[in-house]
Amino acid sequence: MKRITLTQFLIENQRKAHVTADLRLLIEVVARAVKAISCNVAKGALAGVLGEAGSDNVQGEAQKKLDVIANEILLQANEWGGHLAAMASEEEEGIWKIPSDYPKGGYLLLFDPLDGSSNIDVNISVGTIFSVLRCPRNTVEPNEASFLQPGTAQVAAGYALYGPSTLLILSVGNGVHGFTLDREMGSFVYTHPDLEVPEQTSEYAINSSNARYWEPPVQRYVGELQRGAAGPRGKDYNMRWVASMVADVHRILTRGGVFMYPMDEKNREKGGKLRLMYEANPMAMLVEQAGGAASTGRSRILDVQPERLHQRIPVILGSRSEVEAVERCYREAREGGG
């Protein structure tokens, strides 16, 4: 089968008016940046890029050297192209303004430059997550409020997974498509057309060490899975937890499952563990575009109206039937039946 590259895929989508020339440029620039990140991740100890950077990010988390490197690669790759009005990064407290000597465009790019970086030093897959919004019309100077749009406003979302192979998974609103980096050519090759989350699954992903902190509906739901064939679900389930959201979500996009980082008492005052704007929203768009569902347990993630750039949120996403089962546990708890 003749394989096409990301560039040809984007040009064909531009001809069908699924993407504008500027959005095509944006995605190609992000793809080039994640190739550079992939090279740095792959060098590991050989390039002295492992370990702590000696600084904390806005989240108060110790930064890894590769967090800083990946963030700088994405900012520098995207600031000169004229396609962006501004950027936002997990690693930057405020929004990243386009330097005045460069032209501005109509898009806003948000990203988690290196998700799962606690896995870097133990050589486990990590990733980059990105989300694209339109800058509100007639915006002279973008500010944080320009970014506070619900996930349904995203025009594109995707992630790079730095695993045994480097993958770029992308949606521009017409399904989910995957590309594998051919390191010899230096191109992303279209290898995974029309990814779909299998409706049924026997696999779940959650950090079970937090069980005592979960809300009762999640404790009920996970307890039912763990009771297996003898329990109310009538079948045995398997559990996976990579602690890199990109790796766990990619597994679910590929073979089904449900990923949960629910509200828990440890994270309640922060609003949850995962960030809405550049983790939950892009992953929710991808999963819904692939036929799955993404919920806080109480409501659809993509409908949430953001209030702060680095806002956190509970995340339950994956195979639609399982997400609906979790929502049912929450609903029955509210109605007093759970």
CB of 42 within 8 A of CB of 162?
yes
Query: Any contact of residue 45 with ligand P6P (CB under 6 A)?
Result: no
The window from 1-9, 110-118, 145-153, 289-297 that contacts ligand P6P (CB under 6 A) reads: 110-118
Query: Any contact of residue 58 with ligand P6P (CB under 6 A)?
Result: no
Q: Output the CA torsion sign for 131, 137, 139, 144.
A: negative
CB of residue 113 vs ligand P6P: minimum separation in angstroms?
A: 12
Query: Any contact of residue 267 with ligand P6P (CB under 6 A)?
Result: no
- Choice between 84 and 197, CB closer to ligand P6P: 197
CB of residue 250 vs ligand P6P: minimum separation in angstroms?
A: 12
Beta bridge partners of 45: none
Contact pattern from residue 269 through residue 308 relative to ligand P6P, giving x for each residue in contact according to CB under 6 A and a dash for the rest: ----xx----------------------------------
Listing DSSP states for 226-286 in one string gives HTGGGSTT-S--EE---S-HHHHHHHHHHH--EEEE--BTTTGGGT-SEEIIIIIHHHHHH
CB of residue 116 vs ligand P6P: minimum separation in angstroms?
A: 4
CB of residue 207 vs ligand P6P: minimum separation in angstroms?
A: 4
- Choice between 9 and 159, CB closer to ligand P6P: 159
Query: Any contact of residue 311 with ligand P6P (CB under 6 A)?
Result: no
CB of residue 280 vs ligand P6P: minimum separation in angstroms?
A: 10
The window from 96-104, 115-123, 133-141, 320-328 that contacts ligand P6P (CB under 6 A) reads: 115-123
Q: Residue 308: which residues within 8 A CB-CB, separation 6 or more?
A: 144, 148
Query: Any contact of residue 243 with ligand P6P (CB under 6 A)?
Result: yes
Q: Output the CA torsion sign for 324, 328, 334, 338.
A: negative
Query: Any contact of residue 239 with ligand P6P (CB under 6 A)?
Result: no
In whole angstroms, how far apart are CA 248 and each of 27, 80, 100, 284, 294? Answer: 23, 33, 39, 13, 14
The window from 149-157, 214-222, 238-246, 329-337 that contacts ligand P6P (CB under 6 A) reads: 238-246
Query: Any contact of residue 115 with ligand P6P (CB under 6 A)?
Result: yes
Query: Any contact of residue 244 with ligand P6P (CB under 6 A)?
Result: yes
- For residue 193, the Cα-to-chain-centroid distance in whole angstroms is 19
- Choice between 112 and 288, CB closer to ligand P6P: 112
Query: Any contact of residue 245 with ligand P6P (CB under 6 A)?
Result: yes
Rounded CA Rg of the chain: 20
CB of 4 within 8 A of CB of 11?
no
Query: Any contact of residue 118 with ligand P6P (CB under 6 A)?
Result: yes
The window from 3-11, 24-32, 114-122, 223-231 that contacts ligand P6P (CB under 6 A) reads: 114-122
The window from 39-47, 142-150, 239-247, 328-336 that contacts ligand P6P (CB under 6 A) reads: 239-247
Which segments within the chain are labelled E, that is strand?
Answer: 52-56, 62-64, 84-89, 96-97, 107-115, 126-134, 156-162, 166-171, 177-182, 187-192, 203-205, 238-239, 258-261, 274-275, 293-295, 312-313, 315-318
Query: Coil, strand, or helix at residue 73?
Result: helix
Closest residue to ligand P6P, Cβ-based?
Answer: 245
- Choice between 35 and 250, CB closer to ligand P6P: 250
Q: Which two tokens stand for residue 103?
A: 């032209």
Binding site for ligand P6P (CB under 6 A): 115-116, 118, 207, 243-245, 261, 273-274
